[in-house]
Structure 1
Amino acid sequence: MSGVAQQDPLRVLVVAENASKRAGGEAFLPVQWFRRYLERGVDARLLAHDRYADELRELFPEHADRLHFVADAGIGGAFAHRYRTSRLSPPLRRLLYRPPSRVLFLRRLRRAARALVAEHRVQVVHECNPVSPREPGGLWGLGAPLVVGPLNGAIEPMPGFDAVQARVQGPLKRAAMRVAPLLHRVLPGKRRATLVLAANERTRRALPAVRGEVEVFCENGVDLKLWQPEAIREPDAERPIRFAFLGRLVRWKSVDVLFRAMELLAERGIEAELDVYGRGTDEDRLAAAAASSPAADRLHLHGFVRQEDAAETMRGADAFCLPSVQECGGAVVLEAMALGLPVVVTDWGGPAEYVTGAEGFKVGGGSSEELARGFADAMGALATDAGLRRRAGEAGLRRAAEEAFDWDRRADWMIARLRRVVAAGGS
C-alpha cells in the first residue's frame, strides 16, 4: 500500500456523468480513479448516472454501498415529442434540444452530491468528466472543495484535414463556442473550482476564467499490471510484420490512410499485414474500401474487441499505428507502448504529446496522400530494421512507465493533491 494512505483516511466523492469500463474512453476514467482510491485506503464514494448502475455493481460488488446514482432528467410531453420527430440534422437537433435536459440532470447531480457531502462528511469532491474544458460545470457550492479533471479538449483538425468534419459541424461549433461563456456563468462549476487539472496548454487556454488553481496533468494513463509486454519478438524473415489499429472506426481516425500506406508497402515489395480492431460509424465505408483495395489480402477488419481482451489482442501485433487527425488524447498509444510495441502516430494532438520520437515515428502531412506516404515510410522502416523496432519498443516501455502515465503513480500524485486542497480549506 502506498505511503499516501498511512495518514488518516481521506474522504473523497468521485463524481462523473459517465462511469463505465465497457464504454471506455473518458467514461473509464472515474472507474480507474475510484478503484485506485479504494486500493489506497481512501474513503471513496462514486456518484454517476444510473445507466451504469448494474455494471458498476458488478465491478465493485464489495463496495455497493459506496455507489450512488442519479436518474436522467428527461423532459417529457411536447418537448420530447418534438425532439424525436424533428427533421433537423442530428448535430443541430442535439444543439437545440440537449441543453435543457442536461441542465435538469446537472441540477439533480449537484443536489445528490451536496447530500452525500453532508451525510458522509466528504472532504473533497473529484469531478472526472466530461473532460471537455468548454463543457459548463454543474457542481459548485457543495460544502467541500471541488477538484476538476484532468480535462482535455479544444482540439482542431490537423491542418489540411478540415474536410474530415461534416460541413454542418463548422457553424454549429462556432455557435456552441459563442454560447459557452454564457453557459459557464449559468453553470459555474469549473469557474468556482478549487483546482482544475488540464492535460496540456491547449486545454488550459480553452478554460473559462477559473478562480482557483490550474495545473497541467495528463488526462490518460495506462494500467501497467494489465498492459504487460511479452518478450519483444525477434523479427522473423519468414513472417510478415503485423501492424495493428485499435479504436473507434470514425472518419477522423483516418483508418483509410493506413489502407493506402499498406498499398504503398506492397508496391515497394515489403511484406506486411494490417489488423483493424473496432467498430463505429465509418465501419461500412472502411469495409468497402478494404475490399476494393489493391492490398485487400493484407487488410483484416476484426470488429469490436472487449476492453478485457484488448491487451491480449494487441500482443499479436509487431507495431501499432494511429493516424487520427483530431485526437485529444489517445490512451491506446500509451497502452501499445506499455506492451513494448513501436508506434506510428500523427504529429498532432494527444498522440504527439505522448510520443517523443524515440518510441517510433510522428508523421506529418497536409493531405491524406501525403500522410499515407509518411506512414508508409515509417512502417517500412520498422518492417526492414529489426534493431530500430527493438529500440523503439524498449523506449516505449520506459515512456509508459513514467509518473504521468502509470495509473498507480498517478493515483499517488492525485491523492497528494487532494490532501493539499483539503489542508488549504475552503469549499
Structure 2
Amino acid sequence: MSSPRALLIAEAANPEWFSVPLIGWSLSTAIAKETDAHIVTQIRNRDAFLRAGLREGVDFTAIDSEAVAKWLWKLTNLVRGGQGIGWTTETALASLTYPYFEWLVWKQFGPRIRAGEFDVVHRITPLTPTAPSSLARRCAKVGVPFMLGPLNGGVPWPTEFDRERRREKEWLSYVRAAYRLMPGISQTYRHAAKVLVGSRFTLGDLPAKHRGKYIYMPENGIDPQRFWQTVQPRADGPLRAAFVGRLVPYKGADMLLEAARELLRDGSLTIDIVGDGPMMDELRASVLEHGLGSAVTLHGWVPNEKVQDILCQCDILAFPSIREFGGGVVLEAMALGVVPVIVDYAGPGELVTPETGFKIPIGTRTEIVAGFRTVLSRLAGSRFEVHERSEKVRKHIQDEFVWAVKARRVVALYASLAKPRVSRADVRVTNPLEGAP
C-alpha cells in the first residue's frame, strides 16, 4: 500500500518567524518529507516558503484571505494594549478571521477532497483549541478523515501572579472558558477523527465525551540543523546559567536575579540573559544597584541562529517562567545538553523529568525565588548533578522531540485512519481466459 496523501492546513507557517508560525512550518514540512503531502498556508507566508525552496502549486498553496485578515490585524494592534502583550485578545480576534480562511480553502480544495485525492486532511494551525473548523464537518460528510492539532493554550494564570496577569493585559483570560459556547466548537470535535493535544491541561479542558479521539503530543520540536552543537561540561570556574526569553514579568528574569544575587556576588555563578522587552531597564538598574555587572550579561535581542552559541557556553538554563504553554526554549536548551531548572507548571513542567533537569514547585513569588536559590546553590557546589544529566537530556530530545520523529508518528496515524488504497503497482492484470479449461 502506498503512503497516505495528506492535505496539511497550516494558516500560520513561516520558517523566518517564531512561536506558532515556526511550529506550523516545522511540523508541516517534516510531515511532507515522510509522506505525499500538500501544504496550504496564508498568503503572508508565501515569500518565505519560496525562499526556503518550496514550489508554489506543487508543494504548497498560499490562500489570500487578506480582505478580512488585514483589517482584523489592524484592530488587534489597537485593542491588545501594546506590542507583545494581550495574547488572549490577539488569539480571540484571529479566530474571527480564520473561518474566512477555511472557507477559501474549501472553495479551492473541496472538489479535490470530495474526489478522494487526499486520504486525510490535517489542520495543524491554529494551535488554539478555541478556533472552530468548518472543514471537520465538510470532510466527515464526504468520508475523508480530518485531524486537528497539536492543540494547546489557555493554561490558567497561577493565582499568586494575578498582578503579572494584569500587567500583560490578559483581560480576556478571565472569561476564556466562554469559548465553549462559540458556534462550531462542539461540531468540530464531534466530526474530527483524531485530535493531537499538546499539553495535559488542554487534554483535560477538551470535551470529555470525545476522549477516545485525543492523542497527547507536545507541539514543540527540534530541528537538528538549527540546534546541532553540544555543550562541553566544565569541571572548574563558576556555574554558568542562561535565561532566554522576553523580558516581561511572568517570565521571571527578575526572580532569577533575586534568587542568584549572593552566588553572583561571590563568583560562584554567572548568568547570560538573552532577550529584550519592557523589563530591560529594570533589570539593568538591578544589576547596577547590587553590583552584579561582572557576573551578569544582558545580551538583548539575539538572532535565533546565534542563541545556541551562547547556550553552549552555559551549564544550565535557569527559567523561572510561571506560564508557558509549550516551553520551546526549554527543549532547545535540552537539545544542546544544557540542563534545565524550571518552574513545575504547564509546558516546561511536562517536558522536564527528575532525570533530565530540576523542577521548582509553583507557588508564590517568594517561594519560587527560594526554590531557585536552593537549587542554584546546590548545583554551584556540585557539578556532578549537572554533568550526569547533560547527556541524558540530549538523548531524550533526540529520541522523542526531533521533528522527523514526530512527523513519522503523525504519518502512522494517517495510515491508521486512511481507507485502504491500492496503487497501480499493486494491481495484477489477469487474463480472463487464464485457468479456463
| TM-score exceeds 0.5 | yes
DSSP-derived class of the 1:8 partner: coil
Distance 1:350 1:182 in 2: 26
TM-score (norm 2): 0.82
Uncovered stretches (5+) of structure 2, i.e. residues with no partner: 422-437
Distance 2:251 2:336 in 1: 22
Corresponding residue for residue 409 of structure 2 = 413
Question: Which protein is bigger by CA-based radius of gyration?
Answer: 2
1:296 is aligned, of 293, 296, 300, to 293
- Deviation, 1:137, is 2.9
Alpha-carbon contact 1:343-1:359 (below 8 Å) kept: yes
Alpha-carbon contact 2:194-2:214 (below 8 Å) kept: yes
Moved more, 23-32 or 220-229: 220-229
Uncovered stretches (5+) of structure 1, i.e. residues with no partner: 1-6
Corresponding residue for residue 3 of structure 1 = none
Letter in 2 for 1:12: A
Alpha-carbon contact 2:342-2:349 (below 8 Å) kept: yes
Moved more, 284-293 or 310-319: 284-293
DSSP-derived class of the 2:2 partner: coil
Change (3 A) 1:99 1:133: closer
The answer as to 2:18 corresponding to 1:24 is yes
DSSP-derived class of the 1:297 partner: coil
Corresponding residue for residue 396 of structure 2 = 399
DSSP-derived class of the 2:414 partner: helix
Change (3 A) 1:206 1:89: same
Letter in 2 for 1:117: I
Distance 2:263 2:292 in 1: 9
Corresponding residue for residue 262 of structure 2 = 264
Change (3 A) 1:22 1:87: closer
Distance 1:348 1:291 in 2: 31
Change (3 A) 1:278 1:184: farther
Q: CA RMSD in A?
A: 3.3
Give CA deviations for 1:179-208 in whole Å, capped at 9, x if unaligned: x12325368434421100112332122224
Letter in 1 for 2:5: R
Letter in 1 for 2:29: R
Change (3 A) 1:82 1:304: closer
Letter in 2 for 1:175: V
Structure 1 stretches of 4+ with a deviation exceeding 6 A read 79-82, 84-88
DSSP-derived class of the 1:236 partner: coil
Distance 1:170 1:189 in 2: 26
* 1:271-282 matched pairs, under 5 angstroms: 271-282=268-279
Give CA deviations for 1:247-286 in whole Å, capped at 9, x if unaligned: 233332111111212313235x243221122234544544
Distance 1:84 1:218 in 2: 28
How many residues were matched structurally?
412
The answer as to 2:127 corresponding to 1:131 is yes
Moved more, 60-69 or 252-261: 60-69
Alpha-carbon contact 2:360-2:368 (below 8 Å) kept: yes
Change (3 A) 1:116 1:32: farther
Alpha-carbon contact 1:197-1:215 (below 8 Å) kept: yes
- Deviation, 1:167, is 6.7
* 1:145-184 matched pairs, under 5 angstroms: 145-166=145-166, 172-178=172-178, 180-184=179-183
Corresponding residue for residue 316 of structure 2 = 319
1:330 is aligned, of 320, 323, 327, to 327
TM-score (norm 1): 0.84
Distance 1:258 1:168 in 2: 19
